[in-house]
């Protein structure tokens, strides 16, 4: 007789394993994390683990899929809102991501020290690819609307989403490295100025890609940057 699987219990246990793996990735890095680490944390057998995940890479795939799902939820209401113009949706898109990072500022900064270590190079690359694959179509949808509204004049609306996301990820990586460099440089003022200028440069580049009016998108102010820099103290 075939074994009956309780789907609720199965999902709960699988999530427990994934939660543990996520913590270990954040603390040790994906390369240094082992299946045995997960077993030790949860006090389960290897057989129990393999009932839910076939391998360590399978855990990574589930971890990335979780990130995709969690980051998509707050963005979709903005994209689907028929009352918003394209520029309002684009600014809302950026504002939502900034807000989520700000609400978890301490955790983001703590994770950054591990996230940009060599041990997490593979998982970082895979997460960025997954996020690009997920968000680029959403941004492209906004750009199409902006072209219809006559606010964006890009000749490449179908490619704009991917280009914008590449710029956004580049900006995020630059900001993270600047914040992490504070531990060595000990120059908060210089760091704040470089973050502000970097943000403005990338927003200017995005406006040019879209053919949008100059300063159509928000620029970071000193107070917003200061909150991140002082959080490093």
* 9-58: pLDDT as tens digits: 898 999 999 999 988 988 888 888 999 999 999 999 999 999 999 999 99
161/211 same-domain check: yes
Both 210 and 101 in one domain: the answer is yes
Residues 139 and 40 placed together within one structural domain of the fold = no
Same domain, 85 and 28: no
**Type and span of the H or E element at 65:** helix 56-72
129 and 225 in a single domain? The answer is: yes
CATH assignment at residue 20: 1.10.10.60
Nearest residue to 160 (alpha-carbon basis) of 210, 207, 93: 210
Tokens of 172: 């995020």
pLDDT higher than 90, residue 70: no
Distances from the Cα of 159 to the Cαs of 123, 129, 163, 176, 214, in angstroms? 25, 16, 6, 26, 21
Kindly state whether residue 2 falls inside one of the protein's structural domains.
no
Residues 77 and 55 in one domain: no
Check whether 223 has a pLDDT greater than 70.
Answer: yes
Q: Are residues 136 and 153 in the same domain?
A: yes
List the domain range (segments joined by +) for residue 52.
7-64
Residue 215 pLDDT greater than 80, yes or no: yes
Most confident of 72-81, 123-132, 190-199, 220-229: 72-81
**Mean pLDDT of the residues in the chain:** 87
Residues 83 and 56 in one domain: no
On whether both 209 and 159 belong to a single domain, the answer is: yes
Asked whether the CA dihedral 220, 96, 130, 216 is positive or negative, the reply is negative
Q: Residues 98, 220: contact at Cβ < 8 Å?
A: no
Which pair of tokens denotes residue 89? 């949706």
Does an H or E element contain 45, and which? none
* Residue 175 to residue 202: CA distance in whole angstroms: 11
Question: Is residue 35 domain-resident?
Answer: yes
**Model confidence at 183, in pLDDT bands (50, 70, 90)?**
low
Total domains in the fold of the chain: 2
Pair 198, 156: CB distance under 8 Å: no
Same structural domain, 123 and 188 = yes
Q: Which two tokens mark 203?
A: 């927003």
Phi-psi region of 2 (alpha: psi -120 to 50; beta: other; left: phi over 0): beta
| 3-state SS assignment for residue 178 | helix
Residues 107 and 59 in one domain: no
Q: Which of 64, 90, 106 is the last residue of a domain?
A: 64
Which residues, 6 or more positions from 194, have their beta carbon under 8 angstroms from its beta carbon?
178
Q: Is residue 81 helix, strand or coil? A: coil
Supply the angle between the helices 121-149 and 86-103 in degrees, to the nearest 10.
Answer: 150
Residue 1 maps to a domain:
no
pLDDT in tens, 106-163: 777 777 777 777 778 888 888 888 888 889 999 999 999 999 999 999 999 999 999 9
155 part of a folded domain: yes
Q: Quick check: is 130 in a domain?
A: yes
Residue 112 located in a structural domain: yes
**Domain containing residue 173: CATH number:** 1.10.357
Residues 6+ apart with CB under 8 A from 65: 130
| pLDDT tier, 233 (very low <50, low <70, confident <90, very high otherwise) | low
- Rounded-to-integer distance, Cα 121 and Cα 230, Å: 27
Q: How confident is the model at residue 3 (pLDDT cuts 50, 70, 90)?
A: low
């Amino acid at each position: 007789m075939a074994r009956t699987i309780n789907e609720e219990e199965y999902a709960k246990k699988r999530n427990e394993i994934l939660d543990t793996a996520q913590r270990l990735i954040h603390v040790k890095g994906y390369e240094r994390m082992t299946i045995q680490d997960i077993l030790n944390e949860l006090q389960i057998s290897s057989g129990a683990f393999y009932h839910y995940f076939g391998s360590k890479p399978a855990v990574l795939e589930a971890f990335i899929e979780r990130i995709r799902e969690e980051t998509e939820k707050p963005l979709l209401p903005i994209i689907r809102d028929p009352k918003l113009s394209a520029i309002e949706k684009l600014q809302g898109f950026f504002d939502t991501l900034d807000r989520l990072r700000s609400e978890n500022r301490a955790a983001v900064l703590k994770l950054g020290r591990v996230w940009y270590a060599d041990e997490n190079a593979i998982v970082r690359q895979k997460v960025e690819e997954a996020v690009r694959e997920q968000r680029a179509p959403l941004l492209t949808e906004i750009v199409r609307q902006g072209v219809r509204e006559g606010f964006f004049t890009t000749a490449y609306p179908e490619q704009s989403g991917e280009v914008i996301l590449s710029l956004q990820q580049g900006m995020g990586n630059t900001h993270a490295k600047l914040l992490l460099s504070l531990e060595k440089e000990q120059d908060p003022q210089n760091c704040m100025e470089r973050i502000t200028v970097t943000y403005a440069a990338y927003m200017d580049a995005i406006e040019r890609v879209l053919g949008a009016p100059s300063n159509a998108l928000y620029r970071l102010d000193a107070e917003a940057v200061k909150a991140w820099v002082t959080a490093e103290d």
